[in-house]
Amino acid sequence: MKTLTVSVVTPDGPVLEESYDMVSVRAEGGELGILPGHIPLVAPLTISAVRLKKQGNTDYVAVSGGFLEVRPDQVTILAQAAENPSDIDVDRAEAAKQRAEERLNETKSEEIDFTRAKLALQRATNRLEVVNNK
């Protein structure tokens, strides 16, 4: 069976490079499932978990936005931050979540801070979800 080579790269170095049967991501336009032989595609991703399927097993990677680049036999995910479940610092994510929630309650008025806190909250929840899915 054909497989896809998936690589996840961040500015701090590659996070993952392996073959998988299928990749599911949450792009800004909605869910995308990619199988081998897909046409070349570029799509921006939301802060979400990338699901990588291999022989019935599913691996998760948390990405904080970024891009998906698809070629027929290769998928590259370019993100400013991405983590494998084992690399996620749960305590830190919990703390970040709490902090973001507090800030959301405080600064409803200022728009920039609000968006920032909201994004921080999304990243933290995403990380926690990925850890729990493991």
Partner 1 sequence: MASLRDLKARISSTSNTKQITKAMEMVSASKLNKAEDNAKAFVPYMKKIQEVVASIATGNIDVDHPMLISRPVKKTGYIVITSDRGLAGPYNTNVLRKLYQTIEERHQSKDEYVIIPIGKVGRDFCKKRDLPIAHEVTGLPDQPSFAEIKDIANYAVNLFADEEVDELNLFYNHFISAISQEVTETKVLPLNDIDVGEKQSSMYEYEPNQEQILETLLPQYAESLVYGALLDGKASEHASRMTAMRNATDNAEDIIDELTLSYNRARQAAITQEISEIVSGAAALE
Q: Which is nearer to partner 1, 56 or 120 (CB)?
A: 120
Binding mask 17-56 toward partner 1 (x if CB under 8 A, else -) reads: ----------xxx--x------xxxxxx------------
Instruction: Write out the binding residues for partner 1, residues 81-120 only, by CB under 8 A.
Output: 81
Q: Which is nearer to partner 1, 42 or 90 (CB)?
A: 42
Q: Which of 66, 83, 93, 100 binds partner 1 (CB under 8 A)?
A: 66
Q: Which of 5, 21, 58, 67 binds partner 1 (CB under 8 A)?
A: 67
- Position 9 contacts partner 1 (CB under 8 A): yes
Question: For the residues of the chain, what is the DSSP string, one character each?
Answer: ---EEEEEEETTEEEEEEEESEEEEEETTEEEEE-TTPPPEEEEB-SEEEEEEETTEEEEEEE-S-EEEEETTEEEEE-SSEE-GGG--HHHHHHHHHHHHHHHHH-SS-HHHHHHHHHHHHHHHHHHHHHHH-
Q: How far is the CB of 55 from partner 1 (least distance, A)?
A: 27
Residue 72 CA to residue 116 CA, distance in Å, equals: 36
Residue numbers at the binding site for partner 1 (CB under 8 A) = 7, 9-14, 27-29, 32, 39-44, 65-67, 69, 71, 76, 78, 80-81
